[in-house]
Structure 1
Amino acid sequence: MKVIRFIEKAVSSLRTLIKNLLQATQATIRSRIRHIPQALPKRRHEIIGDILERATHQDTLHELSRESGIPLDHLEETFQRYLREIAADLNYMTVPFWELLVTWVFGAIYEGYEVDRASLDKIREINRQRPIIFAANHRSHMDYLLISYILYRHHIPMPHVCAGANLSFWPMGWLFRKGGGFFIRRSYDGNKLYAYAVQAYIEELLRDRANVEFFIEGTRSRTGKLLPPRMGILSAIVQATINGAADDLLIVPTAVTYESVLEEKSYLQEQSGGVKKNESLWDLFRLQKYLRRRKGKVYIEFGEPISLQEFADQDFQDKKKEKIEDLAFEITYGINKATVVTPASLVATALLTHDRRSLSEEALNQKIEKYLDYLRFKECRLSEPLQRYQGNAIREALKYCVRNHWIEAYQDGGGLYRVKEECRPLIDYYKNTSISFFVSMGVLTTILIASKTDVVSLSQIEGDYQFLQNLLRYEFTFSWRRPLGEHLERLTNWTTLQTLPLLKDRRWESKNLIDFIQNQGKLLFAKEEISHLESVNKFTIENALRAFRDLGLVSEEKEGVGKKKRIFYRVEPGSNQLPKTQANRSTLLKLLVKN
């Protein structure tokens, strides 16, 4: 009996000790948490449980079962598996460790970040009343962590972040989930059950008044330009609001600008036609090479909030698709407007818009001064170094290019710089980060140069302006608020147009056609018929083909769905004789005239 009482007493003491240790550990962790929201986010299993208990969920599954002929129990099992695959597990008890890791990685790679504190104060005040949707551009995998990191450090509840399912691999998937990441497949065409799982999950987040972050482009930009918006997640958010999951939501356009991105070399490879490599655990081991050198600063800016009520008027259901597209372009306009212009982007623009082989430092500074005059006129956001230390900021950007062997410097000639031909596409990426600010001026200049007369009528300018907008709708994002045109990437489209006669009577799969056009472009560059090799990149060619499809210059056919979907192009025999196509071709050739 004494032995039994001794064991019971020892067990009781051990339980008390463990309880005290847990309480002490939790107290220590809580002391390190910068901000705990009034309502803690639900855990992963709680969110999934709430979705499964809703009556509307059962009704939808019964309907899908009737449509597909799949047994209900099988659908329920698959639906739960989809939810587990998608759901985040944001936990403020693990956030201090998450913050510590992100601080170490970010601090080792970058020199810091700049953010508008007044915008953060405004967001914090708004967020006390309603949840916020952060709609961001997408430049790097760092985006997933960076925006949440900054919001958390400034006492704003962390958002649930929509990420691609390719990032769910261990251990990054675990880290992202604990930081609020939820994972969506890149494509789920035809899979109604998966689409419903995504919709149900987003609705549940909004019912819980959670902040949400998503990337309007749907993928990382490989060119530096803001890509055309993808409607999937935005449509789900709008539908959730219609279904009563939340009152009036505010969408905040969020612009992230890097002086240098981690993935620049892989982007260059993909631009040249290389295949994108899937992310894996081995990428973490390769991260160490970035920890040995700094890659400049990161700038985060928040645009003016957009109310969903402005778009959900009485005729919304009748014009749902058009309304969501309008909203998407309103968001991209807000992102472009909030984008910060960096010294690197101005240096890249000056170097690549110079026709001669070398550019003196004096001439480069003169070009940049003209850019800055125009940017200030447009009230663009300039980075702090450009505002306060312009001369030094430009010199540091030039040194960075030289140090990375992108350009060659000849100091004996009074400071001459020459871009290495093989590095032009890489420098083009950084030029493109601020190109949106020059779009309207570029298109107007193109029209005036193409004109053969001293006087051009306003109606002619407006007609050509509208044509160029339609031609370049997939290449640039522009404001839909005012009739602003887009800058014409005439050399890329001219290269593609010159190739089209060679394609008559043939049906080309998209990838093979792009490879062919790239090879033709390189040949034209070698023959000095085009002077900018960076214009021959696969993403711009893809956009040109989509525009030519809309203009009737090529036809497009699709086969299969999801991962098996294939796109084919054809130049139809005699299509150029059709009046509309002939007119479009004539207008295009006129505007692409070499000068």
Structure 2
Amino acid sequence: MGSQIALPLWAVVILAVLAVLAVVDRILMPSVRWALRRRANRAIEELNTHLRLHIQPFKLTRRQVLIDRLVFDPEVLHAAEEYAKEAGVPREVAMEKVKRYAGEIVPSFSAYAYFRIGTRIARSISKMLYRVRIGYRNDDALAAVDPASSVIFVINHRSNMDYVLVTYVAATSSALSYAVGEWAQVWGLRGLIRSMGAYFISRDSREPLYRKVLARYVHMATAAGVTQAIFPEGGLSRDGRLRPPKFGLLSYMVAGFDPLGPRDVVFIPVAVNYDRVLEDRMLTSAANTEPGKKPVFGFNAAVFARHFFHHVWMALRGEWYRFGYTCVSFGEPVSLRKHTAEANIDFRLLAPEPRHAEIEKLGNKLMEAVGRVIPALPVSLVSAAMLEAGDKPLSLLDIKERVSGLIGELEGRGTYVHIPRADRDYAITVGLRMLTLRHLVLEQDGSYRANPEELMLLKYYANAIVHLFENAPQAA
């Protein structure tokens, strides 16, 4: 009993290290995790008191738990069985694909990353590049939305700045969950985007198994009340006009909707416009791509560096202006429960073709609601006036007269027109200055005319509001 055992020093060191690791792993780490989780829950509870739309428990669920729920969803399991039969592969191979797809799609939301990092970066970038303004707010209508509803912001897609801008503008309402494409699958950026609640999708994938996994995740998030934001156009507008909507994500959100269930789905139209879109030249050049061919948006480091340092040099000389105004307007909320009641339909009971037709009607209705509240900005108004004049040179007085006529027409139809400083002359001067600085409009001896070589860009900015004249919609 009293005998001694001699051990080498290196063995004693290894045993001591293992003992310390065991104590840390089994005693200290669980306590630290519990303390951090408790602190995070308190912070989120306090944060929810300041948000109109609360952060739902679904967003706070551990990522691995969500992945497991998605992988073992009955519909996903059935889709995996069908895939294995059709492809002639073992079920285990199909399930490995499901796990990989789920791992790619499911985000890892962090309230700290979203509100402390993401929204602050979004605010800084937005205010550095633009004068950010809010058009129609619709506060009363938004306040009337049931907090238990699943709220979906439906946004037109003008620029990749849309993600940044809407995140900043909506920061006081809720944490938005976006669907982002492969462009964000970049090392370093991917983790940040995922921690902000965004989920990655492959827009070009037509594989039924992938589509089923994506559909079930979107359905799970919508059913759990997660606040989301979608861009129904599916891509950036190349000519400035609203693009016809695509219905993939929308169909996933509404296909399993229960009109008698406890949770409504409410769509909020959001319209964005810019005095200058960062990608405008790239987009208008892509508009000339032959039908059926996918445009190639290449990144040219030399061109980027040239423009970047040119703007830095202008700033140092005091000649740099922000890229004009950007404005966000909110339309009248559309209740899916009310929509299905008026149409006397239940998406769950419809056959595929009638269901697709009804979803198409809903998508067009939402895009029309977005179009009604697109704000008219100085550059769009001056561009429309210059295009109306054709080759005819205009004096400053002529331009002000034409733009004032357009403003009066739009305001008569209830459209929101952003007039900086409540001064029409100043608004027109600001819009004209933006266009002359970029040489879209040429000035000679006090006369102005559209630059014949830049007509496509002028049309791009005029097209942002052209539907407001053609259809004369009433704003919310």
Provide the TM-score with structure 2 as the length reference. 0.79
* Residue in structure 1 matching 2:88, options 45, 66, 69: 69
Would the aligned equivalents of 1:33 and 1:92 in 2 still touch at CA under 8 Å?
no
Report the alpha carbon displacement of residue 92 of structure 1 after superposing the two structures with TM.
0.2
Report the alpha carbon displacement of residue 88 of structure 1 after superposing the two structures with TM.
2.2
Structure 1: gaps spanning 5 or more residues: 442-477, 480-595
For residues 281 and 243 of structure 1, the distance between their equivalents in structure 2, rounded to whole angstroms, comes to: 51
Partner of 1:208: 224
* Residue in structure 1 matching 2:126, options 89, 106, 123: 106
- Higher deviation after alignment, 176-185 or 391-400: 176-185
Cα deviations across residues 84-141 of structure 1 (Å, max 9, x unaligned)? Answer: 222222210222022232222222211223254443x643552512110111110111
Would the aligned equivalents of 1:203 and 1:245 in 2 still touch at CA under 8 Å?
no
For residues 65 and 466 of structure 2, the distance between their equivalents in structure 1, rounded to whole angstroms, comes to: 45
For residues 144 and 303 of structure 2, the distance between their equivalents in structure 1, rounded to whole angstroms, comes to: 39
Cα deviations across residues 389-414 of structure 1 (Å, max 9, x unaligned)? Answer: 1111101111111112222213x4xx
For residues 323 and 368 of structure 1, the distance between their equivalents in structure 2, rounded to whole angstroms, comes to: 40
Would the aligned equivalents of 2:118 and 2:196 in 1 still touch at CA under 8 Å?
yes
Partner of 1:144: 163
For residues 298 and 85 of structure 1, the distance between their equivalents in structure 2, rounded to whole angstroms, comes to: 33
1:545-560 to structure 2, matched below 5 A, reads none
Q: Between the two proteins, what is the percent identity of the paired residues?
A: 24
1:376 paired to 2:395: no
Report the alpha carbon displacement of residue 200 of structure 1 after superposing the two structures with TM.
1.1
1:269 paired to 2:285: yes
Structure 1 residue matching 2:179: 3-state secondary structure? strand
Would the aligned equivalents of 2:122 and 2:168 in 1 still touch at CA under 8 Å?
yes
> What is the identity, as a one-letter code, of the residue corresponding to 2:175?
M
* Residue in structure 2 matching 1:159, options 168, 176, 189: 176
Would the aligned equivalents of 1:138 and 1:217 in 2 still touch at CA under 8 Å?
yes
Question: Residues 359 and 283 (structure 1 numbering): CA distance in 2 closer, same or farther, change over 3 Å?
Answer: closer
Structure 2 residue matching 1:213: 3-state secondary structure? strand
Partner of 2:276: 260
1:430-449 to structure 2, matched below 5 A, reads 430-440=461-471
1:170 paired to 2:201: no
Would the aligned equivalents of 2:56 and 2:226 in 1 still touch at CA under 8 Å?
no
Partner of 2:112: 93
Structure 2 residue matching 1:100: 3-state secondary structure? helix
Partner of 1:343: 378
Report the alpha carbon displacement of residue 245 of structure 1 after superposing the two structures with TM.
9.1
Question: Residues 19 and 55 (structure 1 numbering): CA distance in 2 closer, same or farther, change over 3 Å?
Answer: closer
For residues 401 and 430 of structure 1, the distance between their equivalents in structure 2, rounded to whole angstroms, comes to: 10
> What is the identity, as a one-letter code, of the residue corresponding to 1:234?
L
Partner of 1:238: 254
> What is the identity, as a one-letter code, of the residue corresponding to 1:390?
R
Partner of 2:459: 428
Structure 1 residue matching 2:431: 3-state secondary structure? helix
1:194 paired to 2:210: yes
Structure 2: gaps spanning 5 or more residues: 1-12
> What is the identity, as a one-letter code, of the residue corresponding to 1:251?
F
Question: Residues 342 and 245 (structure 1 numbering): CA distance in 2 closer, same or farther, change over 3 Å?
Answer: same
Alignment coverage as a number of residue pairs: 426
Q: Which has the higher contact order (CA 8 A, sep 6+)?
A: 2
For residues 369 and 461 of structure 2, the distance between their equivalents in structure 1, rounded to whole angstroms, comes to: 20
1:330 paired to 2:365: yes
Question: Residues 422 and 432 (structure 1 numbering): CA distance in 2 closer, same or farther, change over 3 Å?
Answer: same
For residues 401 and 287 of structure 1, the distance between their equivalents in structure 2, rounded to whole angstroms, comes to: 17
Cα deviations across residues 200-219 of structure 1 (Å, max 9, x unaligned)? Answer: 11012123210111101010
For residues 90 and 23 of structure 1, the distance between their equivalents in structure 2, rounded to whole angstroms, comes to: 16
Report the alpha carbon displacement of residue 308 of structure 1 after superposing the two structures with TM.
1.8
Question: Residues 139 and 38 (structure 1 numbering): CA distance in 2 closer, same or farther, change over 3 Å?
Answer: closer
> What is the identity, as a one-letter code, of the residue corresponding to 2:103?
R
Structure 1 residue matching 2:268: 3-state secondary structure? strand
Structure 2 residue matching 1:241: 3-state secondary structure? coil
Report the alpha carbon displacement of residue 177 of structure 1 after superposing the two structures with TM.
1.8
Report the alpha carbon displacement of residue 331 of structure 1 after superposing the two structures with TM.
0.7
Partner of 1:47: 66
1:182 paired to 2:213: no
Cα deviations across residues 423-476 of structure 1 (Å, max 9, x unaligned)? Answer: 1111111101100012147xxxxxxxxxxxxxxxxxxxxxxxxxxxxxxxxxxx
Task: Output the aligned Cα RMSD.
Answer: 3.6
Structure 2 residue matching 1:346: 3-state secondary structure? helix
Provide the TM-score with structure 1 as the length reference. 0.64
For residues 341 and 163 of structure 1, the distance between their equivalents in structure 2, rounded to whole angstroms, comes to: 28
* Residue in structure 1 matching 2:430, options 396, 402, 420: 396
Question: Residues 334 and 131 (structure 1 numbering): CA distance in 2 closer, same or farther, change over 3 Å?
Answer: same
Question: Residues 84 and 187 (structure 1 numbering): CA distance in 2 closer, same or farther, change over 3 Å?
Answer: same
Structure 1 residue matching 2:111: 3-state secondary structure? coil
Partner of 2:233: 217
